[in-house]
């Protein structure tokens, strides 16, 4: 897969292409249905598949006072598109040019002239161009005017709800991790470098890896989670605390994971924590001993969880 970060990097793709566009935040099951349809359409028509998306969330530019938190970061998004078999990924900045280009110019100057588009696959809620003036009705008109094929994919529902990035953010904010995972079609995860923490856990036999937090991300509700942690491309069972560690009166939001049967020094290393199940909320304990007695119970619970769900 070739990743292109600016339209100035190309004059015109030399291949005829099939294109889909959107923010694709989370690349959830609705997105997967759309992307799979794109790839299949391109296979049938012998086209190269193209995703046109953004390195930043458009609503973060359009609504700077209340920008949405993103569900996956740029690295995760690139890896997922690669796994899905996309040939070209345009991941450009949503800037003033993208914000102000008319829907007609977007189709003519970008999709047709730059991307050499022959076919287009989009969701029913597709919007593009200045003030989001471009929609399915306009695309149907353009497809006839410029002679490109148009496939419109209906929304995907689960549990009688339309799968959306907004719904997933809500599930995460409420600690409903299983629901978020079902809508994503995979386990929600965060990626970050391991940094130095207070090292309270090491003194009690629970050494934790403290993860540097990107506060632009949609983060899960405070609590204790059954998790898996990927270190050096190897997956380990773990338990992860998210929140403020009220027993220690910490003011900052923290994410720290205790990796079972693991004693490597991974400071400065990048890890990925996958969230599976929320055990409980955070509790302010009267003593530190009470806290670690509860953590011991949480670890036992987590190990039983893995035994039950990994049979």
Contact assessment for residue 134 and residue 98, using Cβ atoms and an 8 Å cutoff: no
Q: Are strands 157-158 and 149-153 parallel, antiparallel or unpaired?
A: unpaired
Spatial separation of the C-alpha atoms in residues 229 and 237, rounded to whole Å: 6
pLDDT for 200 equals: 54
Tokens representing residue 77 in the block: 């998004």
**How many CA atoms lie within 13 Å of 6's alpha carbon, on the beta-carbon side?**
2
Give Cα separations from 286 to 49, 123, 153, 241, 246 (angstroms).
58, 53, 55, 18, 10
- As a whole number of angstroms, the distance between CA 281 and CA 265 comes to 29
**Per-residue pLDDT of the chain in tens (311 residues, 90 and over written 9):** 999 998 888 889 999 999 999 999 999 999 999 999 999 999 999 999 999 999 887 766 666 566 788 999 999 999 999 999 999 999 998 888 888 999 999 999 999 999 999 999 999 999 999 988 999 999 999 999 999 999 999 999 998 899 999 999 999 999 999 999 999 999 999 999 998 766 555 555 568 889 998 888 999 999 999 999 999 999 999 999 998 876 666 667 889 999 998 888 888 999 999 999 999 998 888 777 888 888 889 999 999 999 887 65
Residues pairing with 257 in the sheet: 209, 240
**Rounded to whole angstroms, how far apart are CA atoms 112 and 95?**
20
Strand bridging mode 223-231 / 234-243: antiparallel
The pLDDT value recorded for residue 286 is 76
pTM of the model: 0.89
Domains and CATH numbers, the chain: 2-161 (3.40.50.620), 187-309 (2.40.30.30)
């Amino acid at each position: 897969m070739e990743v292109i970060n600016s339209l100035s990097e190309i004059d015109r793709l030399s291949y005829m292409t099939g294109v889909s566009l959107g923010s694709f935040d989370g690349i959830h099951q609705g997105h997967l249905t759309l992307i799979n349809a794109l790839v299949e359409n391109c296979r049938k028509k012998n086209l190269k598949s193209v995703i046109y998306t953004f390195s930043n969330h458009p609503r973060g530019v359009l609504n700077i006072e209340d920008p949405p938190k993103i569900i996956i970061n740029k690295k995760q998004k690139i890896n997922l598109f690669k796994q899905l078999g996309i040939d070209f990924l345009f991941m450009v900045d949503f800037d003033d040019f993208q914000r102000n280009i008319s829907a007609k110019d977007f189709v003519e100057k970008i999709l047709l002239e730059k991307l050499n588009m022959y076919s287009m696959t989009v969701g029913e809620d597709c919007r593009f161009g200045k003030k989001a003036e471009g929609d399915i009705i306009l695309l149907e008109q353009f497809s006839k005017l410029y002679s490109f094929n148009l496939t419109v994919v209906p929304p995907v529902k689960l549990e009688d709800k339309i799968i959306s990035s907004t719904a997933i953010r809500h599930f995460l904010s409420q600690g409903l991790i299983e629901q978020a995972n079902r809508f994503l079609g995979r386990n929600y995860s965060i990626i970050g470098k391991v940094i130095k923490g207070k090292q309270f856990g090491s003194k009690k036999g629970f050494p934790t890896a403290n993860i540097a937090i990107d506060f632009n991300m949609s983060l899960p509700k405070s609590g204790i989670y059954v998790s898996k942690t990927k270190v050096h491309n190897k997956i380990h069972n773990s338990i992860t605390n998210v929140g403020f560690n009220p027993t220690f009166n910490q003011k900052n939001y923290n994410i720290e994971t205790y990796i079972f049967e693991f004693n490597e020094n991974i400071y400065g290393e990048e890890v990925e924590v996958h969230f599976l199940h929320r055990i409980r909320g955070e509790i302010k304990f009267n003593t530190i001993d009470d806290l670690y007695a509860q953590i011991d119970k949480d670890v036992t619970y987590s190990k039983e969880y893995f035994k039950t769900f990994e049979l």
